[in-house]
Amino acid sequence: MIKFLDLGRQYREIQSEVDEAIRSVLETSHFIGGPAVASFEAEFADYQAASHCVGVGNGTDALEIALEALGLPPGSEILVPANSFIASSEAVTRTGHRVVFVDIDRETYSIDVAAARRAVTPKTAAIVAVHLHGHPAPMDELLILAEEFGLKIVEDAAQAHGAEWDGRRVGAIGDIGTFSFYPGKNLGAYGDGGAILTNSDDLARRCRMIANHGRQAKYDHEFEGRNSRLDAMQAAILSVKLRHLDRWIENRRMIAATYSAELAGIDGLALPVTNSRARHAFHLYVVRCADREALVAHLKENGIQTGVHYPISLPKLGAYQYLGEPDPNWLANQWDSELLSLPIGDHLTKSDATFVAAKVREFFDGS
Ligand SMILES: *Cc1c(COP(=O)(O)O)cnc(C)c1O
């Protein structure tokens, strides 16, 4: 059986460290905020090369708080790539702005910069740059576009812990960046968790206040905020896991390299492309196949689990019917029926990847 995700196996590998971290939080009884959260924030900021890290409740809250902290004019248009998890666009609407979907790049699946440029209007205020699958969006081109039109860049790095663009870790290349520690992410908690990174002292302070009822000091509320916290237990667990993250990402990259070598040259199977300026963190290894359902069935018969990210492009979701008919010419609106995520993660070995690749090849040879 080749699992898509195996968090139990990962826990057993680091069990003594995790158990010790949890025990120490229990003993100090500091469950909200406190030293465990402060340490993790400092460690994660350091890891991602950002000046500030603000821990929050989850990756969706992180996006909402980051967008709110930017203080954009109400009703601003914000560009969002058409293939992502709904949180990327949900945060735009929930902070009082308007979602403008943009098609994706045919190689990296992140926002198509030329299409983003065409979508800019006088009301455009920001771009949500999603580092989808762990491949960074083309940050230098996006920064040029942002500079030209005075736009802010929010990096949705929920899938991209450890990813780099031009040698820089993602998250604080734009104005502000957000991460999710959902259990299945490259760095996952044992519950919900999220973080916001920025190099701006002012944005960091505003995010921290928004996430903490609009206050800096207890009971001195300067405005209405909300409650969104990274709890101490999760922070302690994340600190343990962060020490293993590079090794786990290296394993993901090894699995990806094995797939790419063994699956090269198959007619009807499109493999992921890594831009030469990117260090891909391979949260997902996404291929495209016209007869996806048959391939999924063949792999399942051979005990191989797969996933689809995402089966319905954002413009096609019921939630966005109010924006009108999705453009059938967009790659995002065509490829949602072809995308397939092969298993990848720290739980797999090179021989697992070779086995999966052989079964994929068998499907194409036999059909
Ligand atoms: C997981 C994810 C989120 C949301 O994170 P949660 O912690 O589940 O709220 C946002 N954007 C993308 C691209 C994601 O993959």
Per-residue pLDDT tens digits for 61-87: 999 999 999 999 999 999 999 999 999
For atom 2 of ligand 1, which residue has the closest CA?
158
Residues in Cβ contact with 258 at an 8 Å cutoff, skipping those fewer than 6 apart: 350, 353, 354, 357
What's the mean pLDDT when you consider all of the chain? 97
Lowest mean pLDDT among 112-116, 213-217, 234-238, 258-262: 213-217
Instruction: Say how far apart CA 109 and CA 105 lie, in whole Å.
Output: 5
Question: Can you tell me the distance from the alpha carbon of 195 to that of 271, in angstroms, rounded to the nearest whole number?
Answer: 31
Entry pTM:
0.98
Q: Does the structure show a pLDDT above 90 at 367?
A: no
State the DSSP string of 62-124: HHHHHHHHHTPPTT-EEEEESSS-THHHHHHHHTT-EEEEEPBPTTT-SB-HHHHHHH--TTE
- pLDDT value at residue 366: 79
Region 137-158 average pLDDT: 98
| Cis bond upstream, residue 109 (ω within 30) | no
Q: Work out the angle at residue 11's Cα, subtended by the Cα atoms of residues 7 and 17, and round it to the nearest 5 degrees.
A: 150
The ligand 1 atom at the shortest distance from the C-alpha of residue 193 is 7
Nearest atom of ligand 1 to the alpha carbon of 84: 13
Question: Which 3 state secondary structure label does DSSP give 6?
Answer: coil
Q: What is the mean pLDDT of residues 84-94?
A: 98
* Residues framing ligand 1 (Cβ under 6 A): 58-60, 84-85, 87-88, 130, 156, 158-159, 180, 182, 192, 194
Task: Give residue 182 CA to ligand 1 midpoint distance, Å.
Answer: 7
Query: CB-based contacts of 242: which residues, under 8 Å, 6+ apart?
Result: 40, 43, 44, 47, 187
Instruction: Extract long-range pairs of 24-27: CB within 8 Å, 24+ residues apart.
Output: 24/236, 25/232, 25/233, 25/236
The partner residues of 52 in beta bridges, in order of sequence, read 198
